[in-house]
Structure 1
Amino acid sequence: MLSRAAVCCRVLPCSSAAPSLGIQRPKSLQLSHPLQPSRRYISNQLPSGIAPLFQYVSESYISVAVQNGIEALHTMGLPWTGSILATGLLLRLVTSPFHIYAEKLFAESFHARNFLTQQIVKKVCDKYRVEFTPNEAGNKLVMKTDNKEVIHAAETMVKEYVPQLLGAKGLQPTRIQNLKMCTVPVWIFSSFALRNIISADFHPSFPGHLWIPDLLQPDPLYILPVLVGVFGYLNLWSQRKIYPVQKSTLFIKSYDFLLGFLTLFSVVIMAQLPACIPFYWLVVSISGMAQAQILRHPRVKKVLGIKRLPSDSDKPIRDLFLMRKQV
């Protein structure tokens, strides 16, 4: 009911409804503007198969709440560009506890995995009377043997028992990944909130900046969509640098390929949408990468109670590009 009321407020030409929404309605639809038809790239003329889904997301409580929040920020005096920027940063702050908790679980999982692996291998070495001592670099323990039977026995026991023990403590990788992924719907719903504003019958004016004369027009130079893709790939690359996998399996390669394809596909789509939408997603991407790097700082981890990792750094951005591949 709330979403229907919000829609009705935009359709009825009642002057008393405008101040409550914080929308500066144009005197006309300015149909004479030479580029005006491109404002309807996100019109409601959708394929019948996905139209109900789009309607559901657009009218959901989350979308309507974020929409009202964007309009409230504009009512407080922020320009529409500032309102979009502030919304992205505020939502990043609201969803940060999920990422902080996931980071805490990952650190605990990392140390628990190393401890359990060490204990299991030590028992195998004791059984077969093999030395288990530090390597030449002194950074990890290794078995002093070339006996394939002993090595195979140790690897088998590690693969069998470590995941079970981690799962018993709630430190399984899927749980940690799901904590991070559960924030994705927030960004999707918030995008539809912005869509609701700019696709209304009496949509407000979104003045542009720099090379974009109107934020309701697609970026004429494709700079914003390309930047969204660049930061998307940087996020993927940085995650692999900070949290490297010991063995690149077919599943890992397929997962990376899928994320890369979706990032490229989103760039193609955003190039056709009003510039305010890729601008919003650029804010989301930059703030997401900044959050990930801030959580690598030792002082931040100490305050948040997160155990340290080998990838932590006092200068995370610089050291991200200087970091060697961990094994």
Structure 2
Amino acid sequence: MSQLWQWFVGAIETGLEWSRAVTGSAGLSIILFTVLVRLVLLPLTISQMRSMQRMQALQPEVERIQKKYRDNPQKANEAIMKLWRENNVNPASGCLPLLVQFPILYALFLALRTFSSGAFLWIPDLRARDPLSILPVLAGVTTYFQMKTSMTTVQPQQRTMLVLMPAMLTFFAWSFPAGLALYWVTSNLFSIVQQVVLNRQPAPAPAGPAPAGKGKKGHERGVS
């Protein structure tokens, strides 16, 4: 496992050095690396976004179930899980693309230690912190808008995350090398554009709860 990890970090470092030699810019090499990572993760990310869209579309039905079984939480959970299964919704899927990026971020952090970095825009060295703290602020701002564009409605419990997550990312980006902050800002911008494009396409209609009765006649009796 250790050899595989060393190979992974070395591959990132080699790719960054090659890209820097071609573009003549350490910053552009990190941006290109970020875009490549996001393109590789694109199928997984689109699947996750579709799942989140379906989950948000089902929220009124979830609230109806919770109200109906307010005195029986176990029954409510069973009904909600059944509803999600019928609509191919996985509540944990939203974390997967982010979790996949954590090893990549750490590998990039290790690769930056030996990367032949140089000046990029106002940053003298991408291996050091941003001296003007512009990238950390951009990391927080783009994280906020990335989260906002992924939500069709903002639930009360999500408002806290809309403030907490960007604040945490701003602090982390300020504490770590500017190259990591550049990666995160580029990744967020990619996600925002991707989400805007996806939001313009109609999401699959939720199946909803099973109709009462059997067959078409049973459904008509349930509606009437």
TM more than 0.5: yes
CA RMSD of aligned residues (A): 3.6
Q: Deviation string for 1:44-92 (max 9, x for gaps)?
A: xxxxxxxxxxxxxxx3665454444434434555632222111111111
In structure 2, the partner of 1:169 is 86
Q: Secondary structure at the match of 2:192?
A: helix
Cα contact 1:99–1:179 (8 A) shared by 2? no
CA contact (8 A) 1:66 1:193 kept: yes
2:35 maps to 1:93: no
AA matched with 1:223: I
Q: 1:92 touches 1:284 (CA, 8 Å); kept in 2? A: yes
Match of 1:307 in 2: 204
Where 2:47 maps in the other structure, the secondary structure is helix
Other structure's SS at 2:105 match: helix
Alignment partners' CA distance in 2, 1:82 and 1:234: 23
2:217 counterpart residue number = none
> Does the residue aligned with 2:132 lie in a helix, a strand or coil?
coil
Given the alignment, which residue of 151, 176, 180 partners 1:277?
A: 180
Q: Report percent identity of matched pairs.
A: 21
CA offsets 1:276-322 (integer angstroms, 9 cap, x no match): 22111111111111111111123xx5xxxx4379xxxxxxxxxxxxx
Q: Which residue of 2 aligns with 1:49?
A: none
1:212 aligns with 2:115: no
Question: What amino acid is the match of 2:103?
Answer: F
Q: 5 Å matches for 1:86-165?
A: 86-108=32-54, 155-156=67-68, 160=76, 162-165=79-82
Indicate how the Cα distance of structure 1 residues 93 and 102 shifts in structure 2: closer, same or farther if over 3 A, else same. Answer: same
Amino acid aligned to 2:26? W
Q: Alignment partner of 1:209: what SS? A: coil
Structure-1 residue corresponding to 2:135: 224
Distance 1:231 1:155, change over 3 A: same
- Superposed displacement of residue 185, structure 1: 2.9
Could you say which residue in structure 2 is the equivalent of 1:193? 107
Matches for 1:257-272 after TM superposition, within 5 Å: 257=160, 260-272=163-175
Secondary structure of residue in 2 paired with 1:221: coil
Structure 2: distance between partners of 1:227 and 1:73: 24
**8 Å contact from structure 1 (residues 113, 162) kept in 2:** no
Q: Are the equivalent residues in 2 in contact too, given 1:231–1:285 (CA < 8 A)?
A: yes
Structure 2: runs of 5+ lacking an equivalent? 207-224
Distance of 2:147 and 2:176 partners within structure 1: 24
Deviations 1:207-232 (A, max 9, x none): 22332233233222111111101111
In structure 2, relative to structure 1, the CA distance for the partners of 1:243 and 1:221 (3 Å cut) is: same
The alignment status of 1:294 with 2:197, answered yes or no, reads yes
Structure 1 residues 225 and 64 mapped into 2: Cα distance closer, same or farther (>3 Å)? same
Query: Using the alignment, how far apart are the partners of 1:215 and 1:154 within structure 2?
Result: 50
Contact 2:31-2:183 at 8 Å conserved across structures: yes
The 8 Å contact of residues 233 and 260 in structure 1, kept in 2 or not, is answered as: yes
1:227–1:77 Cα change, 3 Å = closer
CA contact (8 A) 1:228 1:281 kept: yes
Q: Could you say what secondary structure the match of 2:150 adopts? A: helix
Q: Does the CA contact (< 8 Å) of 2:13 and 2:112 recur in 1?
A: no
**CA deviation after TM superposition for structure 1 residue 157, in Å:** 6.2
How many aligned positions are there?
Answer: 199
What's the offset of the Cα at 1:113? 7.1
